[in-house]
Chain A
């Protein structure tokens, strides 16, 4: 069964360091999402790509976060510099089409980030 691949599974970093997460969506899925989930809360959308284009980054803290999907396939999310409040689970998800209200998202295993 096709899966969304994410790495690393866990990341521990110190405050002010740079950190990067990688995601490879299900083959053929044009839409890719990055969500952040703080313990005890639901996932919050950070950025959404349709192919290589960003279609929603309204909740992305752009002073320290960046995301790219250069060839419209895999994607990287970067934080620089990391802050203590960035400790969370970072989830990547994909879906096969971007438009329409009935599309289902499938999540990768996530990256658990701890900032010390």
Chain B
């Protein structure tokens, strides 16, 4: 079982719709969770982080965390073509030093 799992997609949504991206993780003790956006040929860019169960909103983005189910998601409201990218879920593994494990990413395509 992979430590961090994401559906590879592509997830195709129309402009203006809500895009829902999901991630599951294997380490029950993980405490912090991150979403990175990566455009083709570019490096990952941090867009959201969440530490506590529940929802966290930042503009059009909402991160949701359910530690009991080992599940974290990212919602993008009012999706725009510029949101088309790969979204990487990253989980901080238990241990002394900060160590992020990434999923393989979900490719999102927003069509006009």
Binding site for B on A (CB under 8 A): 31, 35, 40-45, 48, 50, 55-56, 89, 91, 95, 97-110, 112
Which residues on B sit within 8 Å (CB–CB) of A100? 98
Given A42-B4, A91-B44, A110-B43, are A103 and B98 neighbors across the interface (CB < 8 Å)?
A: yes
Chain B interface, number of residues (Cβ within 8 angstroms):
27
Q: Which residue of B lies closest to A98 (CB)?
A: B97
Given A42-B103, A102-B51, are A112 and B41 neighbors across the interface (CB < 8 Å)?
A: yes
Q: How many residue pairs between the two chains, A and B, have CB atoms under 8 Å in the bound complex? A: 70
B96 at the interface (CB under 8 A from A): yes
Interface residues of B in 1-58 (CB under 8 A from A): 4, 8, 30-32, 34, 41-46, 49, 51
Asked if A99 contacts B97 (CB within 8 A), the reply is: yes
Given A43-B88, A50-B97, A112-B41, are A105 and B46 neighbors across the interface (CB < 8 Å)?
A: yes
What are 20 inter-chain pairs, A to B, with CB distance below 8 A? A41-B104, A42-B4, A42-B90, A42-B105, A44-B102, A45-B100, A48-B99, A95-B98, A98-B97, A100-B98, A101-B31, A101-B92, A103-B92, A103-B98, A104-B49, A105-B34, A105-B90, A105-B98, A106-B46, A109-B42
Asked if B98 contacts A109 (CB within 8 A), the reply is: no
* Closest CB in chain A relative to B80 CB, distance in Å: 23
Which residues on A sit within 8 Å (CB–CB) of B45? 107
Asked if B44 contacts A43 (CB within 8 A), the reply is: yes
A95 and B99 CA atoms in complex are apart in Å by 11
Q: Which residue of A lies closest to B100 (CB)?
A: A105
